[in-house]
Structure 1
Amino acid sequence: MLRIVKTGGMGLAGLALAVLAVILVRGAIEAPARIDPAPLIERAADYDVLIRRDEWGVPHILGTSDADAAFGVGFAHAEDDYATIEEVAIATRGKLASVKGEKAAVGDYLVHLMRVWETVEARYESDLSAEVRRVIEAYADGVNYYAALNPDRVTPGFLPLTGKDVAAGFMFKTPFFYGLDKTLMAIFEGRIGKAGGLSKEGVDAFLPTQTPLPVGSNAVAVSPARSADGKTRLLVNSHQPFTGPVAWWEAVVRSAEGWHVAGGFFPGTPFMLHGHNRHLGWANTVNEPDLIDVYALTINPDNEDQYLLDGEWRDFEKQVAKIRVDLWGPFWWTAARDVLFSTHGPVLKTDAGAFAVRYAGMGEIRQVEQYYALNKATQLGEWIEAMKLQTLPSINYIYADRQGNIAYVYNAQFPARVEGPDWSGVVAGDDSNLIWQGYLPFEAVPKLFNPNSGFLYNANNTPFRATAPRDNLRAEQFASSMGIQTDMTNRAMRAEETWGADRSITAEEFRTYKYDLKYSDGSEMARLIDEVLQVDADGDADLAEAQNILAGWDRVTNRESRGAALGVLMAEPVVRAGLMGRDPPAALDTLRDAIATLKTHHGRLDPLWGDVNRLRRGDVDLPVDGGPDTLRAIYGRLEADGTLTARGGDTLIMFVEWDRQGRLTSESVHQFGSATLDETSPHYADQAPLFAEMRTRPVRFEEEDLEGHIAESYRPGER
């Protein structure tokens, strides 16, 4: 018997070794072929570009042509954040699960469901101009050149990045800004509404999450009529995750062909997404009109591959998505999943039924065309013509220029829906009359130009409150089928109570209002405090003390506040649940959780807010003012020690102004610094103290501004 057991054990061990050998052989056979870096390096000789970095490490890129400058943008951005650029491209290719494992498979499936690559392959040559293709391909060449010079940082099989990757990235990501991923994830979960969606943050980027970082932004424009000194002012203040695929990287780009911009870029994007050129600028904020329609399909009981439309059974179009999932070491498996499409759009079959989805941005790859046109616009008319391209499915625009014009566009691809059905719910999928074709024209989009008030703002709120009441758009001017949002945020209320209440705004006041720290009387915070103050403490000493603290709190989130920690820790879980479309917890329950956290870790219910709310980066650990949904927006992660680490909100902030003669000045600050990933760089966290103190630094836009401030000057590859 012992001999049999030993023999059996040896046999199993031999079998295991044989299986491992097969896996290793398969891995060697199927491993990505090594890319010869020589052609990628040789291509760099085609470009004439110089990178100058100022004392803050911010790149100032000077190219002979726009393509030369784009090559420099790609190279410089890769120097600072190559890993994120690569990850964005891998995710856009639908191959992130091969790197990050099973959790990333959902995102990979969405790439197939959205037909990203089918569309790009079909339309890249026809829909994109030769000029734009040259620019985005030059950006890709710049990234490739950096990668070829640093092969140890490259994921096997990734190279080369292509212009198609760049175009596909815009197609894949832009619908997520109005919440497409949240809607699709909710359907995956068997319900209609919104779920957590895909993370946009750090190492968890593109993975499903139930605790997404809230996205929002502030944008304000003030005309000479509203400024005490006659200047035109623009606030660029997007709220993003501090790290990851939608974290800002700042650059100044200039070419001899007229492309000259300063502002924020996302990893994988060649163009300035918001900021300014010499003549004009704009700021973006997220908007959430109803741009998604969910259709309930009737499935043929005799053939699950058919659905009912106009009284006839139609065949689903079916494809198979093959998703490679990394397991461990040489181990992986390939998941094959059906991808279904109806006349409406992509289809998801769930336990709750079969649903088709139609959404803004389907089949659109021209986003790069519009951004290029916006970057190069020199006056309001040209900027409007760029906006009329309507390739961007959503996002608000607040505009200002050197002539003193200001504007607001509640930008979206509004589906051309028929009136009648409740488009906010599930729509019957058996009537082709309900399958909209195309979008409303730009003339139908809510917008305001040069209101008499001289003031425009958006803080992720309804477009029907954007300026003085007498100048505002009215809901009855627009069809209900457009699904225009009607909500207000605390930041919107405070914008009206600061900029909106001041008829002669000085430069100092403009900045002070941006860094406002207060929750409005009409805010959700104020409502929640009122709610818990109505509760009878009934002998609960901790609850009674907490109520006294909240009753005495002025709802200001300055770092010296003794009430902010309790208020924010109580309110944040309630507000977050609402943003995710889930039933919020009771405020009294979250208050008790806050009490426990503060007593355990701080020994008191009223610690200084600055002792709790921290900005951390490398060795930097600083107190920071602000909180969720304040104009000085800070969103934190609760740590094991009971403190909060800021992980999103205010990021790249820009104050832009033109004087009466049209002369431009600009200042900015980044939450960390230009060296996104290099912890050894002096610019990894050098702007963090400025950011924490709510200060800014000059944007050295013109050559004469940059003179005397160049810390490094080099051609790509010669640093």
Structure 2
Amino acid sequence: MVRLVLSIVGGSVLLALVIIGFMAWTPTPPRLDEDAIRTASARYSARIIRDDYGVPHIYGETDSDVAFGLAWAHAEDDWETIEPTLLAARGVLARYDGQDAAPTDYIVQLLRIQETVAARYESDLAEDTRALLEGYADGMNAWGLENPDRVRPGVLPITGQDVVAGFVLRTPFMYGLDEDLGELFAEERQRTISIGETETAWHSIDGPNPELGSNAIAVAPSRSADGHTRLIVNSHQPFTGPVAWYEIRVHSEEGWDAAGGTFPGAPLVLHGHNRNLGWAHTVNNPDLADIYVLEINPDNDNQYRLDGEWVDFETGTAALRVHLFGPFSWVFNRELVWSAHGPVVRRPHGTYAIRWSGFDEVRGVEQWYRMNRAEDFEAWMDAMNMQAITSLNTIYADRDGHIAYLYNARMPVRAEGYDWRQYLPGDRSELIWSEYEPLANLPVVIDPPSGYVANANNTPFRATSPADDLNSADFPSRFGIEWEMTNRAQRLLPLLEADTSITDEELLEYKFDLDYAADSPVARLVAELVAMDLDDEPLLIEAQRVLGEWDFSTNVDNRSAALGVLIAIKCIQNRHDTHPWTCEPVEALRRSALDLMDHYGRLDPSWGDVNRHVRGAFDSPVDGGPDILRAIYCGCDELDEDGHFIGMAGDTYIMAVEWDETGAVYSRAIHQFGSATLDERSPHYADQAGEFVAMELREIPLEMDALMAVQESDITIP
């Protein structure tokens, strides 16, 4: 959302106000009631045992005790990430971080995040969910009181509503609401208007290169060599920041017993497993947001036409307090406007309203809580049928041998006859939807005869064996379901299909596969370049030779991968395998060749010399690359000043979970760095980086005796 910065705040106004900003003293936060925090903390007791990798295992009598301890442990490791996440959800981040955070505050107020949470917190969330949230908030407050030097003034006290607001803010951005909002602030209108009676088609979903994604696999006993059920959890996230994974293990006497990954500010496992079942998410991209073009009354710009009548906008003011320097800040007032459709944005090229799935939903955290606590497939499906998590593919497996793939989406019930991928006319109330399709109407595959399901951010119509796949024709095009394949899916699904007796070792080999598929966009691009007549440019002729020798692997010793990947990330929006190249291939070849010659004096340095995994003093070659099952993304299309690609996203927290024939669960995992997310002095800042590079997983000690054999510390709080 920082892309909207000066479009929202106004650059010239900001500059003028900075000049006189010394007149605006930041108000002193109200005095913190420390006694109230201590009184609240006394209600809880949590035991935090850290294993030899520093991973916190939290034990307590109640779920809220465990949430209290989880907040304390996570704050110890990552408070500097958690704090701005909470401030962003309050819509006050700019008063601490300055003008770059002002767009976030504006969007929070425009989307009415705080108002929605306040109105629905008591009515929509169950009592046990609120107890969990408040235990987590009390844990952060207690930790903050003990560590005042790390907490900025005015942040405490944190409330359960703050935690929910974080979910409400982040969840719709998982399916791209930020991109829809961002395009409204472009210099020109970005789409046409669908006026009805249109023949809708399957639409592609454009996105930036590289395509950041995830992998998830479930294998039933019928497909396993030993009759075990297996689950691979492999979300691709940034290596650091507010959506970077943090590993946890939680256990309460009330029955909450789970392990997996969570985000800063989240009080539970977002993906992972409990004793009986597990799940993995990948990002999907259904069409869950609609933009309406409003007709404005020429005699009154505070009215818009709806069903033949002029209707008044609802208006308000966003008071954006922006930190300037030292103790000084300034309040910028920006117009807030809403129509019957939702928030309104006025631009020179039109006035627009936006409506998005989840604008009225606060129960995402409750759905994840129910998934954490589910004991069997039926209970877990009851949680999924809440549809409070507005998007995300979900792969499932359990001790009874059930597996499933769900194209989870809180899909609006929309009128027929319109192309909902385009802008909609804003003068028709029939287009303002208020209901959602049940999950059963979306692509769902349960216990397919093939015995496996998988997703790598590809179309849901390729989720298992071709004989068991769903038919896209059975689903309305107005859903906007993606049809593209990623390279990861092109590699993964054939590997699973060819193996009718999958072992644990084989499944990990498939997850860590290093190749581009023979029919991938990368392979087609290389074939096109190699076939060109480039006789007049010796450098390009040599580059053709290097490319012609590429076997499309990204192992660290490969001598052609550097040139191939450099070209591919310039020309391909990964997963859009039917789109034309996004650059001129010969120019991409030339630029890439010159880049390599400038840094290495050759076109074929080993891939490991280029592709690096770096964390503090740890600096190692790493296999994999963009849209490889062993995914490594650098977020760039040229080498850095040292001639490297430094990984910044992709494979992060990886889990391999299995249930044996008796129903016993075993779990292994690896994190790209370690449990100490920001503390370079900690032994756990990079202690997992070596195993991560080696593509090795470590055992998670699920039983107390195994944990105590490797425990590093053991404390009880408060």
Structure 1 length-normalised TM: 0.92
Match of 2:544 in 1: 547
Match of 2:621 in 1: 623
Deviation at 1:132, TM superposition (A): 0.7
**8 Å contact from structure 1 (residues 105, 323) kept in 2:** yes
Deviation at 1:529, TM superposition (A): 1.2
Match of 1:676 in 2: 677
Deviation at 1:211, TM superposition (A): 7.2
- 264-273 vs 321-330, which deviates more? 321-330
Match of 1:594 in 2: 592
3-state DSSP of counterpart to 2:223: coil
The 1-side partners of 2:363 and 2:504 are apart by 38
Matched, 1:429 2:462: no
2:457 to 457, 460, 468: 460
Match of 1:58 in 2: 55
Q: What whole-Å deviation, never above 9, does each CA across 1:70-109 have from its counterpart, x for those lacking one? A: 0000000001100111010011111122222222211111
The 2-side partners of 1:93 and 1:294 are apart by 25
Go from structure 1 to structure 2 and tell me whether the alpha carbon gap of 1:586 and 1:100 turns closer, same or farther (over 3 Å shift): farther
- 651-660 vs 635-644, which deviates more? 635-644
1:179 to 176, 181, 188: 176
Q: Which residues of 2 match residues 94-113 of structure 1 at below 5 A?
A: 94-113=91-110
Deviation at 1:349, TM superposition (A): 1.4
The 1-side partners of 2:18 and 2:306 are apart by 51
Match of 1:613 in 2: 611
Deviation at 1:113, TM superposition (A): 1.7
**8 Å contact from structure 1 (residues 519, 555) kept in 2:** yes
Deviation at 1:490, TM superposition (A): 0.3
Q: Which residues of 2 match residues 328-347 of structure 1 at below 5 A?
A: 328-347=325-344
**8 Å contact from structure 2 (residues 572, 581) kept in 1:** no
The 2-side partners of 1:583 and 1:560 are apart by 28
Which stretches in structure 1 are left out of the alignment for 5+ residues? Answer: 1-18, 195-209
The 2-side partners of 1:639 and 1:101 are apart by 29
Deviation at 1:587, TM superposition (A): 2.6
The 1-side partners of 2:347 and 2:20 are apart by 37
3-state DSSP of counterpart to 1:512: helix
**8 Å contact from structure 1 (residues 213, 241) kept in 2:** no
The CA RMSD measured in Å over matched residues stands at 2.0
Q: What whole-Å deviation, never above 9, does each CA across 1:457-484 have from its counterpart, x for those lacking one? A: 0000110000001100111111121111
Deviation at 1:38, TM superposition (A): 4.0
**8 Å contact from structure 1 (residues 577, 583) kept in 2:** no
Match of 2:489 in 1: 492
Match of 1:688 in 2: 689
- 691-700 vs 144-153, which deviates more? 144-153
Deviation at 1:532, TM superposition (A): 2.1
Go from structure 1 to structure 2 and tell me whether the alpha carbon gap of 1:34 and 1:522 turns closer, same or farther (over 3 Å shift): farther
Go from structure 1 to structure 2 and tell me whether the alpha carbon gap of 1:41 and 1:211 turns closer, same or farther (over 3 Å shift): farther
Matched, 1:283 2:280: yes
**8 Å contact from structure 2 (residues 458, 575) kept in 1:** no
Match of 1:585 in 2: 583
Deviation at 1:246, TM superposition (A): 0.5
The AA in structure 1 aligned to 2:708 is E
The AA in structure 2 aligned to 1:690 is E
Go from structure 1 to structure 2 and tell me whether the alpha carbon gap of 1:597 and 1:38 turns closer, same or farther (over 3 Å shift): farther
Match of 1:655 in 2: 656
The 1-side partners of 2:92 and 2:395 are apart by 36
Which stretches in structure 2 are left out of the alignment for 5+ residues? Answer: 1-16, 192-206
The 1-side partners of 2:72 and 2:489 are apart by 38
The AA in structure 2 aligned to 1:91 is A
Q: Which residues of 2 match residues 525-564 of structure 1 at below 5 A?
A: 525-564=522-561
Deviation at 1:610, TM superposition (A): 0.4
Go from structure 1 to structure 2 and tell me whether the alpha carbon gap of 1:20 and 1:180 turns closer, same or farther (over 3 Å shift): closer
Q: What whole-Å deviation, never above 9, does each CA across 1:290-338 have from its counterpart, x for those lacking one? A: 1111111111111111111111111111111111122222333221111
Aligned length: 682
The 1-side partners of 2:497 and 2:100 are apart by 45
The 2-side partners of 1:471 and 1:651 are apart by 31
Match of 2:69 in 1: 72
Deviation at 1:452, TM superposition (A): 0.2
Deviation at 1:255, TM superposition (A): 0.2
Deviation at 1:193, TM superposition (A): 5.8
The AA in structure 2 aligned to 1:430 is D
3-state DSSP of counterpart to 1:641: coil
**8 Å contact from structure 1 (residues 70, 270) kept in 2:** yes
The 2-side partners of 1:239 and 1:708 are apart by 31
Go from structure 1 to structure 2 and tell me whether the alpha carbon gap of 1:678 and 1:213 turns closer, same or farther (over 3 Å shift): farther
Deviation at 1:705, TM superposition (A): 2.8
**8 Å contact from structure 2 (residues 62, 252) kept in 1:** yes
Matched, 1:502 2:503: no
The 2-side partners of 1:462 and 1:211 are apart by 18
**8 Å contact from structure 1 (residues 318, 340) kept in 2:** yes
Go from structure 1 to structure 2 and tell me whether the alpha carbon gap of 1:481 and 1:159 turns closer, same or farther (over 3 Å shift): same
The AA in structure 2 aligned to 1:597 is D
Deviation at 1:582, TM superposition (A): 12
- 43-52 vs 162-171, which deviates more? 43-52
Deviation at 1:212, TM superposition (A): 8.2
3-state DSSP of counterpart to 1:50: strand
Matched, 1:43 2:40: yes
1:384 to 372, 381, 385: 381
The 2-side partners of 1:175 and 1:211 are apart by 18
Match of 2:665 in 1: 664
The AA in structure 1 aligned to 2:174 is F
Q: What whole-Å deviation, never above 9, does each CA across 1:24-53 have from its counterpart, x for those lacking one? A: 68526x132342434323432211110000
3-state DSSP of counterpart to 2:709: coil
Go from structure 1 to structure 2 and tell me whether the alpha carbon gap of 1:326 and 1:714 turns closer, same or farther (over 3 Å shift): same
Match of 2:199 in 1: none
**8 Å contact from structure 1 (residues 360, 413) kept in 2:** yes
Matched, 1:135 2:138: no
Matched, 1:236 2:233: yes
**8 Å contact from structure 1 (residues 396, 409) kept in 2:** yes
The 1-side partners of 2:574 and 2:613 are apart by 24
The AA in structure 2 aligned to 1:679 is E
Match of 2:645 in 1: 644
Q: What whole-Å deviation, never above 9, does each CA across 1:101-152 have from its counterpart, x for those lacking one? A: 2222111111112110111111111111111111111111111111111111
**8 Å contact from structure 1 (residues 289, 484) kept in 2:** yes
The 1-side partners of 2:100 and 2:403 are apart by 44
Match of 2:3 in 1: none
Q: Which residues of 2 match residues 248-397 of structure 1 at below 5 A?
A: 248-397=245-394
Deviation at 1:252, TM superposition (A): 0.5
The AA in structure 1 aligned to 2:484 is D
2:470 to 470, 473, 494: 473
Match of 1:711 in 2: 712
Fraction of identical pairs, as percent: 51
**8 Å contact from structure 2 (residues 484, 575) kept in 1:** no
Go from structure 1 to structure 2 and tell me whether the alpha carbon gap of 1:34 and 1:527 turns closer, same or farther (over 3 Å shift): farther
1:224 to 199, 221, 225: 221
Deviation at 1:214, TM superposition (A): 4.0
Go from structure 1 to structure 2 and tell me whether the alpha carbon gap of 1:649 and 1:192 turns closer, same or farther (over 3 Å shift): farther
The 2-side partners of 1:192 and 1:588 are apart by 32
Matched, 1:448 2:449: no
Q: What whole-Å deviation, never above 9, does each CA across 1:390-425 have from its counterpart, x for those lacking one? A: 101100110000000000110000110111111111
Go from structure 1 to structure 2 and tell me whether the alpha carbon gap of 1:531 and 1:187 turns closer, same or farther (over 3 Å shift): farther
Match of 2:632 in 1: 634
Deviation at 1:21, TM superposition (A): 14
3-state DSSP of counterpart to 2:381: helix
**8 Å contact from structure 2 (residues 223, 502) kept in 1:** yes
The 1-side partners of 2:298 and 2:580 are apart by 33
